């Protein structure tokens, strides 16, 4: 049984149909389009950059969303360029290895 979203009968009960096509054509459950999963192998913001960023944030000064935003902005300026360049180099190497593994996860 498939629910037709937002459609109710006079007793305020949901209306159900037996076939999915009937539910879809009557405004019911629709297949959601999902984007492909994000591969951690191809993430340009490597975890080491995120770790470095969280290390540089002064967490004692964070008391609100505004102070968090300000602290993250300050922390970005403190991240070592060596860490950024190393992460970019590692990401480039992973991109070069991708055809060798035919799109599978890198090991």
Mind listing the pLDDT tens digit for each residue in 61-94?
Answer: 999 999 999 999 999 999 889 988 888 888 788 7
What percent of the chain has pLDDT above 70? 52
**97 falls within a domain:** yes
**107 falls within a domain:** no
- Nearest alpha-carbon partner for 46 in 98, 100, 101, 83: 83
46 and 85 part of one domain? yes
What is the pLDDT, as a whole number, of residue 43?
64
> Does 54 score more than 60 pLDDT?
yes
More confident residue, 8 or 56: 56
8 and 27 part of one domain? yes
Q: Specify burial of residue 56 (Cβ count, 10 A radius: 0-12, 13-18, 19+).
A: middle
Helix (H, G, I), strand (E, B) or coil at 39: coil
Q: Phi first, then psi: give them for residue 26, nearest 5 degrees.
A: -100, 20
User: Token pair for residue 8?
Assistant: 């109710």
Q: Supply the range of the domain harboring residue 71.
A: 40-101
More confident residue, 51 or 35: 51
User: Token pair for residue 84?
Assistant: 């950024």
95 and 66 part of one domain? yes
Q: List CB contacts of 88: < 8 A, sequence separation 6 or more.
A: 44
What percent of the chain has pLDDT above 90? 21
29 and 47 part of one domain? no
58 and 17 part of one domain? no
What is the pLDDT, as a whole number, of residue 60?
94
């Amino acid at each position: 049984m498939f629910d037709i979203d937002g459609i109710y009968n006079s007793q305020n009960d949901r209306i159900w149909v037996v076939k999915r096509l009937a539910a879809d054509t009557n405004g019911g459950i629709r297949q959601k389009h999902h984007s492909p999963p994000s591969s951690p192998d191809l993430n340009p913001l490597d975890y080491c950059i995120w770790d470095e960023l969280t290390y540089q944030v002064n967490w004692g000064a964070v008391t609100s969303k505004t102070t968090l935003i300000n602290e993250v902005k300050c922390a970005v300026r403190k991240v070592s360029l060596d860490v950024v360049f190393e992460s970019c180099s590692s990401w480039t190497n992973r991109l070069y290895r991708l055809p060798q593994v035919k799109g599978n996860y890198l090991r």
